[in-house]
Amino acid sequence: MKIFVFVFLCFCFLNYGKAQDTFSILAFDSITREVGAAGASCVDLIQYFPNYPDDFICELFSDTGAIACQASYLPANQINARNRMRAGDTPTAIISWLQNNDVAANSAIRQYGVVKMVYQGETASAAHTGSNCFSYKNHITGVHYSIQGNILLGQQVLDSMESRFKRASGDLACKLMAALQGAKIPGADTRCMANQSSSLFAFLKVAQPTDPFGNPSLRVSVRTQNNQFIEPIDSLQQLFNRVHSCIPSTLELPNTSFSEFKIFPNPSTSYFEIQSRLPVFTAECVLTDALGIEREHLFVSESRVAFGKSINPGLYFLKVIINNTEIKVFKLLKN
């Protein structure tokens, strides 16, 4: 009996070790308070994880955050990560705890990503890529997102995901789908090069603030097998398009054929600058944070005006008011 139990446990660990969720992205929208995740891998779920949902390695916590547990996946580590999220730990604290308390004392073969609302509408992220994860491996974190991957073709996979995510219009789901499209490269997961695809399965999910745990409002996924030569990200896009619209969104009001103002750089790491072609003293600008709290109030009286030097990283809105009428709202991100 002892021999049987030992062999069974070894079999389980070997199978879990195949769960290399090769590239994934987590993100939190501090305005809508939506949280989402998307990912793909060359793992054959049909063969190794037939009874697991396609998205099992990423967990969403409504109105709170998200965690990705990948590379050499163990359910016990994921449970611990879930408990730390629910205990109120920051992303950095969660990552540190998981590194120091790995259930097999081997955090060097794990990869994690965490994004979370931490304080009054402000988000934070953190990630860990173990030194013994299969190369190419790395992660990228931003104020409200975390992108991580292993067994990759190279850094270009992660960079493309980040670029597509940041440039995409629409809501959080649309941005996550765009990020996955950024990784649609044959051999993005190098094990899938012979299959001429980026991966064998792909998923995307987004939870609204009131969604129960494990039941997000939006969830789509695709799983394929080797030698089917199917690109799962394209298949996922087709499913996504049936249930979700990505009509470009805008914060502009109806009367905003408004070219008199330009704001740059956006995103910014230091300060923003307004370039105005309006007559002197005609524009009032109000900068508010994600909670609607006023951070700066200025009147544009020059062709170039700098602002935002003293604000913390986060999402902000600049209202442009002319003759007591709100003309336009700019969405700004300070990293």
Tokens of 233: 């990200």
Q: Which long-range contacts (CB under 8 A, 24 or more apart) does 134-138 make?
A: 134/20, 134/71, 137/71, 137/111
Would you say residue 6 lies in a domain? Answer: no
Is residue 33 located within the same domain as residue 88?
Answer: yes
| Residue partners of 276: CB distance under 8 A and separation at least 6 | 260, 261, 283, 300, 302, 303, 304, 305
Please give the model's pTM, rounded to 2 decimal places.
0.71
Is residue 236 located within the same domain as residue 280?
Answer: no
Is residue 266 located within the same domain as residue 234?
Answer: no
- Please give the pLDDT value at position 328: 79
**Distances, alpha carbon 21 to alpha carbons 40, 158, 191, 263, 268, in Å:** 6, 13, 12, 39, 32
Is residue 222 located within the same domain as residue 317?
Answer: no
Phi, psi of 75 (to 5 degrees): -55, -35
- Please give the pLDDT value at position 116: 97
- Please give the pLDDT value at position 322: 74
- Please give the pLDDT value at position 37: 99
* C-beta separation of 158 from 4 below 8 A: no
Tokens of 325: 């009428």
**End-of-domain residue from the set 215, 243, 271:** 243
Is residue 138 located within the same domain as residue 222?
Answer: yes
Would you say residue 2 lies in a domain? Answer: no
* C-beta separation of 25 from 39 below 8 A: yes
Element (H, E) at 144: none
**End-of-domain residue from the set 243, 271, 288:** 243
Q: How far apart are CA 283 and CA 299, in angstroms?
A: 6
Would you say residue 145 lies in a domain? Answer: yes
Is residue 208 located within the same domain as residue 278?
Answer: no
Is residue 55 located within the same domain as residue 152?
Answer: yes
Would you say residue 248 lies in a domain? Answer: no
* C-beta separation of 20 from 43 below 8 A: yes
Residue type present at position 322 = I
Would you say residue 39 lies in a domain? Answer: yes
Is residue 178 located within the same domain as residue 300?
Answer: no
Is residue 238 located within the same domain as residue 273?
Answer: no
111: nearest Cα among 126, 123, 89, 122: 126
- Please give the pLDDT value at position 5: 37
Q: Alpha-carbon torsion 123, 83, 101, 129, what sign? A: negative
- Please give the pLDDT value at position 129: 98
**End-of-domain residue from the set 185, 213, 243:** 243
- Please give the pLDDT value at position 303: 67
Q: Which long-range contacts (CB under 8 A, 24 or more apart) does 216-221 make?
A: 216/36, 216/60, 216/62, 218/36, 218/173, 218/243, 218/244, 219/55, 221/53, 221/54, 221/55
pLDDT along the chain (335 residues), means of 10: 38 45 91 94 90 94 97 96 98 98 98 92 94 96 96 96 90 95 95 95 96 96 94 95 69 43 84 73 78 83 81 88 76 87
308: nearest Cα among 267, 260, 259: 267
Q: What is the DSSP string of 174-206?
A: HHHHHHHHHT--TTSBGGGTTTTSS-SEEEEEE
Is residue 70 located within the same domain as residue 198?
Answer: yes
Would you say residue 255 lies in a domain? Answer: no
* C-beta separation of 295 from 316 below 8 A: yes
**Number of domains making up the chain:** 2
Residue 327: which domain range? 261-334
Task: Identify the residue whose tokens are 């740059």.
Answer: 264
Is residue 185 located within the same domain as residue 271?
Answer: no
Is residue 133 located within the same domain as residue 217?
Answer: yes
Instruction: Return the CATH number at 95.
Output: 3.60.20.10
- Please give the pLDDT value at position 12: 40
Instruction: Return the CATH number at 287.
Output: 2.60.40.10
Would you say residue 129 lies in a domain? Answer: yes
At 282 the three-state DSSP class reads coil
Would you say residue 1 lies in a domain? Answer: no
CA 291 to chain CA centroid, nearest Å: 21
Q: What is the DSSP string of 45-76?
A: HHHH-TTS-TTTTEEEETTTEEEEEEES--HH
